[in-house]
Amino acid sequence: MSMIGYARVSSIGQKLDVQLEKLQTQLCEKIYQEKESAITTKRPQLMACLDYVREGDILVITRLDRLARSTLDLCNIAKRLEDKGVTLRVIDQNIDTSNSTGRLMFNMLATIAQFENEIRAERQMDGIKKAQANGVMFGRVKALTPNQITELKSKRQSGILIKDLMAEYKLSKKSVYNYLELSKQNCLPMAA
C-alpha cells in the first residue's frame, strides 16, 4: 500500500505550496503536480497518476475540485480508482472512500459541487442576456467595415487570389472565406 498525492492549480501564476505541504503531512511517497485547468482534457500528470496507482494504494488530494470540475468527470475518475482497488482520500473535506460514510460524503459533495456550477452558469447566462438587452455587444469586433467587405467580395469576383486578399486586408484565410460565405448567405452572386 502506497500513499500517492496529486496537486493541481488552474493557472501558471498560482502556487502549489499549500497543497504540497498538506500532501507531505500525509506521508505521500510520490506526488504528481501540475498547473492545468480542470476543464482542459489535457492533464498529463493526473493521467500519469491514475495509471501509476495500484490496488491497495491511496490517492490523496487536498480538495475535490483539485481532481475534477464536473460531477461526471469526478465520477469517472472515482470509478477508475474503484476498478483498480484504489481508495481516494480528500484532506480538507475529510473524505475517505474506503468506508461507506466516506463514499456517501464523496457523492454528496460531488453532487453539491455540480449544482453550484449549474447555478453559476445560469446566473452568468442571465447576466449576458441582461447585458445584451442593454446593448452590450459580445465577441470580436469585425475586422472589416461593410464597405471593405463589399470591396473584398468584388475583388474576389474579379479573380483576385485568396492569398492576395489575405495580404491586402491582413486577414487569415478562414476570415476571408467567412466574409465570402457571408455574401452567399446574403444572396449576393459570387464567382468561383
Q: Which residues are catalytic, by number?
A: 10
Buried b (16+ CB within 10 A) or exposed e, 143-171: ebeeeebeebbeebeeeeeeeebbeebeb
The 3-class secondary structure across the chain, one letter per residue, is: CCEEEEEEECCCCCCCHHHHHHHHHCCCCEEEEEECCCCCCCCHHHHHHHHHCCCCCEEEECCHHHCCCCHHHHHHHHHHHHHHCCEEEECCCCEECCCHHHHHHHHHHHHHHHHHHHHHHHHHHHHHHHHHHCCCCCCCCCCCCHHHHHHHHHHHHCCCCHHHHHHHHCCCHHHHHHHHHHHHHCCCCCCC
Q: Are strands 58-61 and 30-35 parallel, antiparallel or unpaired?
A: unpaired
